[in-house]
């Protein structure tokens, strides 16, 4: 009888309920909110749902699935993978793929298999718009600095402006590797994916504000057809050029271009199909839940996260605006041949930003087909944000 | 570095400017590379075109896909893409003719100028198709 009571007492003491604190409850509720957004409102469900669930799992006490102390090291301590393997729970083990830069790169491989760079090859000036929109990243860096974040934190927050999930995770997992920061990979990823889902809300007002109706009605020349050979040379050339210039961008750009080469070569269809389907899905699952697991209460319920939310909105807005402004410059320079609306598609949320260009252009002239023209800057933006990521990683020490 | 709480404005400025410059330079180089590739291919295309135009007769009846067609007019400008488009149109007409039992004749196929072309339902369908979410 005695033993039975003792056992029960122990079980109660070890139960999650006994260790449930107010922060945990708050985080669990927040996780529910994101699940609602993902499922009911369709906010980037592929990533947001696993992230939200990872958040739930990590904030249910005593589950032992994720141990923040393994990853957040005090200065002087090295990341000990042996310890992770010994003491880590499921989410710790899965998180290693994030730490080792495997997941974001493989996702980019899949994205490359799905991307058609023809609109960009046909009109390479779109690269300028892809570059211009990345101003959102660097101006957010300034903003983060002004709000009191240090270099590594500011760099991680800034990359949210790249409007690219894997890139944000890639950069923040490296910059924040040392631990002891007020933001986490999870908070960055959460902000990034939420804002990517909000692109249809953020972009159109800015697009209407910064362009005149006349500019929006511009019809662009039909894009020339791009030959297969060009489509094969493109990924190879981009990889070589970017890797030589910004080597730290090579994992992302290289995998993106490899995926594209798989697709365009036409000789490795099995690989292409796997990379963009099974592989992407597997990695997305692992990435989502392990990144979600890093969203422990202290990092979310904090003033820092609030600032991240504000900065994230600013990042997207500034990126959109600067893409549009460069679009206007191109409009003037070419004597009205370029529709400034495609500039905002330089924000590399593919294909949502391009869709917004199409949508706002169609409001002005319903027969205007801007989508393909906007895809050029859109995919250029993916390359641009990867380059910007590389730059941040080369400049900021971690 | 993460022991520093506040960054000096000099550092922040340096990161921003360097970052923007490098991104622009990298992408400008890509523009040059792609434009060069385009130029090279254009030159190759021109040479090819010169060869085929010398070989083929000036005016030729257009080749049509399998289905029997009542009558096909001669098309003056036969750029390769137009040929395929004409073939598709003719095949579609032939198909409709076969199905409905009526006799249909293609009298002319003209390319309207891009400016005031009314895109109509096909374009709308294409647009909505492209806008479907991939992920």
Q: What value of ipTM does the predicted structure carry?
A: 0.83
A76-92 core/surface letters (b: 16 or more CB in 10 A; e: else):
eeeeeeeebeeebbebb
- Look at B22 and A245 and tell me if their CB atoms are within 8 Å: yes
- Look at B2 and A124 and tell me if their CB atoms are within 8 Å: no
Shortest Cα–Cα distance, B89 to chain A (Å):
20
For A219-260, the pLDDT digits (tens) are 888 888 888 999 999 999 999 999 999 999 999 999 999 999
Q: At what angle do helices A45-59 and A185-197 cross, to 10 degrees?
A: 140
Shortest Cα–Cα distance, B79 to chain A (Å):
13
HSE, CB side, 13 Å, CA atoms: give it for residue A43: 24
Output the pTM of the full model.
0.79
Q: How far apart are CA A15 and CA B109, in angstroms?
A: 78
Contact B91, B104 (CB under 8 A): no
Neighbouring CB atoms inside 10 A of A287's CB total 27
Mutate to test the interface with B, among A49, A74, A138 (most CBs of B within 10 A): A138
Residue-level pLDDT at A141: 94
For A307-341, the pLDDT digits (tens) are 999 999 999 999 999 999 999 999 999 988 899 99
* pLDDT above 60: residue B30: yes
* pLDDT above 80: residue B106: no
- Look at A234 and B34 and tell me if their CB atoms are within 8 Å: yes
Residue-level pLDDT at B120: 61
Residue-level pLDDT at A39: 94
Rg (CA), chain B: 27
Neighbouring CB atoms inside 10 A of B51's CB total 10
Query: Which stretch of A158-167, A199-208, B57-66 has the lowest confidence by average pLDDT?
Result: B57-66
Residue-level pLDDT at A279: 95
- Look at B123 and A369 and tell me if their CB atoms are within 8 Å: yes
User: How many CB pairs (< 8 A) connect A and B?
Assistant: 146
* pLDDT above 90: residue A302: no
Residue-level pLDDT at B132: 63
Q: How far apart are CA B19 and CA A387, in angstroms?
A: 9
Q: Which helix (H) or strand (E) holds A253?
A: helix A250-265
For A102-144, the pLDDT digits (tens) are 999 999 999 999 999 999 999 999 999 999 999 999 999 999 9
Percent of chain A's residues with pLDDT above 90: 69
* pLDDT above 50: residue A95: yes
Distance in angstroms between the alpha carbons of the first and the last residue of chain A: 57
Instruction: Catalogue the E-assigned strands of A191-259.
Output: none
Return the residue matching tokens 């990889």: A239
User: Mean pLDDT in chain A?
Assistant: 91
The token pair at A113 is 């298999």
């Amino acid at each position: 009888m005695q033993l039975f009571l003792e056992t029960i007492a122990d079980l109660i003491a070890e139960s999650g309920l006994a260790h449930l604190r107010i922060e945990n409850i708050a985080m669990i509720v927040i996780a529910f909110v994101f699940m609602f957004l993902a499922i009911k409102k369709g906010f980037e469900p592929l990533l947001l749902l696993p992230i939200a669930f990872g958040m739930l799992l990590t904030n249910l006490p005593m589950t032992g699935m994720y141990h923040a102390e393994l990853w957040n090291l005090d200065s002087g301590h090295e990341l000990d993978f042996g310890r992770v393997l010994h003491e880590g729970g499921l989410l710790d083990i899965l998180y290693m793929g994030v730490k080792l830069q495997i997941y974001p790169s493989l996702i980019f491989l899949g994205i490359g298999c799905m991307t058609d760079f023809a609109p960009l090859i046909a009109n390479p000036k779109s690269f300028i718009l892809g570059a211009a929109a990345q101003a959102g990243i660097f101006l957010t860096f300034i903003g983060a600095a002004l709000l009191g974040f240090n270099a590594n934190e500011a760099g991680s927050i800034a990359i949210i402006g790249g409007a690219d999930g894997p890139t944000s995770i890639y950069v923040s997992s490296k910059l924040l590797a040392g631990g002891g920061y007020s933001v986490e990979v999870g908070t960055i990823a959460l902000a990034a994916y939420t804002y990517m889902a909000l692109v249809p809300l953020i972009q159109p007002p800015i697009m209407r504000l910064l362009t005149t109706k006349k500019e929006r009605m511009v019809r662009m020349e039909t894009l020339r057809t791009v030959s297969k050979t060009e489509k094969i040379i493109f990924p190879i050339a981009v990889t070589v050029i970017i890797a030589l210039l910004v080597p730290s961008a090579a994992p992302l750009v290289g995998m993106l271009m490899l995926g594209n080469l798989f697709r365009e070569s036409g000789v490795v269809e099995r690989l292409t199909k796997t990379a963009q389907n099974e592989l992407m899905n597997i990695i997305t699952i692992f990435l989502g839940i392990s990144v979600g697991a890093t969203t422990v209460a202290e990092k979310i319920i904090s003033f820092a996260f609030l600032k991240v939310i504000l900065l994230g909105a600013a990042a997207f807005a500034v990126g959109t605006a600067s893409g549009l402004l460069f679009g206007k410059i191109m409009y003037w320079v070419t004597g009205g041949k370029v529709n400034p609306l495609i500039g905002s598609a330089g924000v590399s949320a593919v294909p949502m930003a391009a869709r917004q260009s199409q949508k706002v252009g169609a409001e002005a002239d319903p027969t205007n087909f801007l989508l393909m023209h906007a895809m050029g800057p859109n995919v250029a933006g993916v390359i641009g944000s990867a380059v910007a990521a590389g730059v941040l990683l080369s400049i900021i020490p971690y | 570095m993460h022991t520093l709480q506040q960054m000096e404005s000099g550092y922040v400025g340096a990161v921003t400017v360097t970052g923007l410059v490098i991104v622009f330079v990298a992408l400008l180089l890509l523009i040059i590379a792609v434009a060069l590739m385009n130029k090279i291919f254009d030159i190759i295309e021109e040479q090819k075109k010169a060869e085929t135009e010398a070989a083929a007769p000036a005016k030729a009846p257009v080749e049509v896909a399998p289905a029997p067609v009542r009558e096909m007019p001669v098309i003056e400008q036969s750029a390769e893409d137009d040929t395929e488009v004409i073939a598709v149109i003719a095949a579609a007409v032939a198909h409709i003719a076969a199905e409905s039992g009526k006799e249909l004749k293609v009298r002319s196929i003209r390319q309207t100028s891009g400016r005031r072309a009314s895109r109509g339902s096909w374009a709308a369908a294409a647009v909505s198709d492209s806008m479907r979410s991939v992920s």
